[in-house]
């Protein structure tokens, strides 16, 4: 146990350094975007952290669905541990992505919020997984809690693409609101920006994996506590 924990600590340090390096690359090394005001040029650099956050949160919820299916199929607690750990990290990344996106929106579109399809869907995603945790906290029996959460985790993740398309079509049929071309505008990265972006993405992925491993360790400890309690007759 101690050896693998040491391995985890090493990985943690690497992940931390990776994030720092990504920050340096994003803030200093990456070239400026063309054709923007100075304010917008600064704001554009938010992409390097904001987008990986969002992508990783969706990866995390996908892992939760995998854990959910795994639990229903095998009945082994390890899968439920995976599901809940990943969901928790997913929610954190979702919050970070929404908050950073909102802060980017202010200088870019002069508004803190907009009901564009991606953002709206993303808010629903947040609500879905908050509901996931509310379901879990409303249940006491661990086996039942894991089972119900697994069922919900599957429904939740599958609903995301359908919800995304429904919201997107909802907007395009009556384009009464602000023109949506601004959404895609700054996502186009020049050839020099791409390495920075992908490095940042890699750093965040490693960060996610490390967080997940630590969080799984927490669940494992909880499991050990439960076993000892059983041994004591509680």
Partner 1 sequence: MSFFNAVVAIVWKDIRAELRTKDIFSSMFVFALLAVIIFNFAFELRVPDMKMVAPGIIWVAITFAGTLGLNRAFVIEQDKGSLAGLLLAPIDRSAIYFGKMLSSLLFMVIVEIILLPLVMVFFNLPLLTWQQLLVLLLGTYGFAAVGTVFSGMAVNTRAREVLLPILLFPVVLPVLIAGVKMTGALLDGEPFSSLTNWLRLILVYDVAFTIVAYLTFGFVVEE
Partner 2 sequence: MTYLVGAYLIIWVVSFALILSMVFRQRKIDQELAVLSEALQDREEGR
Q: Which residues bind partner 2 (CB under 8 A)?
A: 23, 27, 39, 42-43, 45-46, 49-50, 53, 88-89, 92-93, 95-96, 99-100, 103-104, 106-107, 207, 211, 214-215, 217-218, 221-222, 224-225, 228-229, 231-232
b/e per residue 33-51 (b: at least 16 CB within 10 A): beeeeeebeebbbbbbbbb
Find the angle CA(112)-CA(25)-CA(57) to the nearest 5 degrees: 50
Q: How far is the CB of 170 from partner 2 (least distance, A)?
A: 28
**Residue 11 binding: pick among partner 2, partner 1, none (C-beta 5-8 Å cut-off by kind):** none
Q: Which residues bind partner 1 (CB under 8 A)?
A: 72, 124, 127-128, 131, 134-135, 138-140, 144, 147-148, 150-152, 154-156, 158-159, 162-163, 165-167, 169-170, 173
Considering beta carbons, is residue 23 or 72 the nearer one to partner 1? 72
**Residue 135 binding: pick among partner 2, partner 1, none (C-beta 5-8 Å cut-off by kind):** partner 1
Considering beta carbons, is residue 27 or 73 the nearer one to partner 2? 27
**For residue 24, what are the CA distances in angstroms to 48, 166, 211?**
11, 39, 21
**Residue 198 binding: pick among partner 2, partner 1, none (C-beta 5-8 Å cut-off by kind):** none
**Residue 151 binding: pick among partner 2, partner 1, none (C-beta 5-8 Å cut-off by kind):** partner 1
How many CB atoms are closer than 10 A to CB 24?
12
Q: How far is the CB of 112 from partner 1 (least distance, A)?
A: 22
**SS3 per-residue string spanning 68-83:** HHHHHHHCCHHHHHHH
Q: How far is the CB of 172 from partner 1 (least distance, A)?
A: 10
**Residue 155 binding: pick among partner 1, partner 2, none (C-beta 5-8 Å cut-off by kind):** partner 1
DSSP state of 222: H
Closest residue by Cα to residue 203 from 20, 55, 8: 20
How many CB atoms are closer than 10 A to CB 63?
20
C-alpha span between 1 and 57 (Å, rounded): 29
C-alpha span between 210 and 14 (Å, rounded): 9
**Residue 213 binding: pick among partner 1, partner 2, none (C-beta 5-8 Å cut-off by kind):** none
Q: How far is the CB of 212 from partner 1 (least distance, A)?
A: 24
Closest residue by Cα to residue 67 from 174, 149, 162, 176: 149
């Amino acid at each position: 146990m101690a050896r693998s924990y040491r391995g985890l600590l090493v990985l943690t340090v690497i992940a931390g350094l990776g994030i720092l390096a990504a920050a340096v690359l994003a803030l200093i090394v990456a070239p400026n975007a063309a054709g923007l005001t100075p304010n917008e040029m600064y704001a554009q650099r938010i992409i390097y952290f904001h987008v990986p956050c969002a992508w990783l949160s969706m990866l995390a919820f996908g892992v939760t669905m995998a854990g959910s299916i795994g639990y229903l199929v095998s009945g082994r607690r390890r899968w439920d541990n995976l599901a809940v750990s990943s969901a928790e990290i997913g929610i954190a990344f979702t919050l970070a992505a929404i908050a950073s996106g909102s802060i980017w929106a202010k200088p870019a579109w002069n508004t803190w919020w907009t009901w564009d399809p991606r953002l709206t869907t993303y808010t629903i995603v947040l609500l879905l997984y908050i509901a996931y945790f509310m379901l879990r906290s409303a249940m006491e029996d661990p086996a039942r809690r894991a089972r119900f959460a697994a069922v919900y985790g599957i429904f939740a993740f599958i609903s995301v693409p359908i919800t995304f398309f429904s919201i997107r079509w909802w907007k395009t049929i009556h384009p009464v609101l602000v023109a949506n071309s601004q959404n895609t505008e700054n996502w186009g990265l020049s050839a020099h920006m791409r390495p920075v972006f992908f490095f940042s993405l890699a750093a965040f992925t490693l960060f996610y994996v490390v967080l997940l491993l630590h969080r799984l360790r927490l669940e494992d400890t909880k499991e050990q506590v439960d076993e000892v309690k059983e041994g004591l007759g509680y």
